[in-house]
Structure 1
């Protein structure tokens, strides 16, 4: 791979935050991703620091066949798994919710392992399809 890779795949929804989370989970599931972890940054920062921020949720998405292929190529790839997908209210436009997924092509750049290119390409295709499905739900 040459050049630089955009770090995120993203879209903006104009829906309620909970609806954006529901749609994101469904779009990811349609592409074979399960949610392994969930971090509610808003609640965590409120509880630990007393800091108030907009809705911000990190979903740790995993497609088991792709994860298996990746760890067979490079055991350290687990440092970059699962794929993080962020659902967050736009602090500058409270009616908008951003959905952002880490671009899996980044893992090829980070590791320098060309054998991961096909795994990253398939994961990116699936995540783009999920993001595109969200765009379709928004119209």
Structure 2
């Protein structure tokens, strides 16, 4: 899906980037509801080695509730996935699907567009801070 992903390359270690993403997601009011260590899962299930990679399932309950009140079908898109993946010796990639592109799959509804825009802003701020190293000291409303 060209143009449907938000991606940053971070010149920091995988573990530092994963911690930074966790911290900023919390600041942005996005709760990590699931965490899949894809590297360990593939090693355990298939005996294959892949670079470090974690998939974080994130959600903001208030926004999810509002979206569900417009269209219960939107639940198929929950939670948003944020992928943190090691690339090379000292780099990390952080990616997510653009929530505005996902909401377009449900239909063109003004409230859903507004909610998707809100989530997108929070995810963009998270990805940006992964690059800048910003540190949170409080939670965004």
Q: When the two structures are superposed, what TM-score results if normalisation uses the length of structure 2? A: 0.87
Deviations 1:1-28 (A, max 9, x none): xxx8722112111222111110000111
1:82 to 76, 79, 83: 79
Q: Please tell me whether residue 102 in structure 1 is matched to residue 100 in structure 2.
A: no
Q: CA deviation at 1:94?
A: 2.7
Stretches of structure 2 that go unaligned for 5 or more consecutive residues are 135-141
Q: Please tell me whether residue 62 in structure 1 is matched to residue 59 in structure 2.
A: yes
- Tell me the equivalent position of 1:111: 106
Q: CA deviation at 1:82?
A: 0.7
Distance 1:26 1:123 in 2: 16
Deviations 1:31-89 (A, max 9, x none): 10110001111111111111110001000011111111111111111111111000001
Stretches of structure 1 that go unaligned for 5 or more consecutive residues are none
Q: When the two structures are superposed, what TM-score results if normalisation uses the length of structure 1? A: 0.89
- How large is the RMSD of aligned CA atoms in angstroms? 1.6
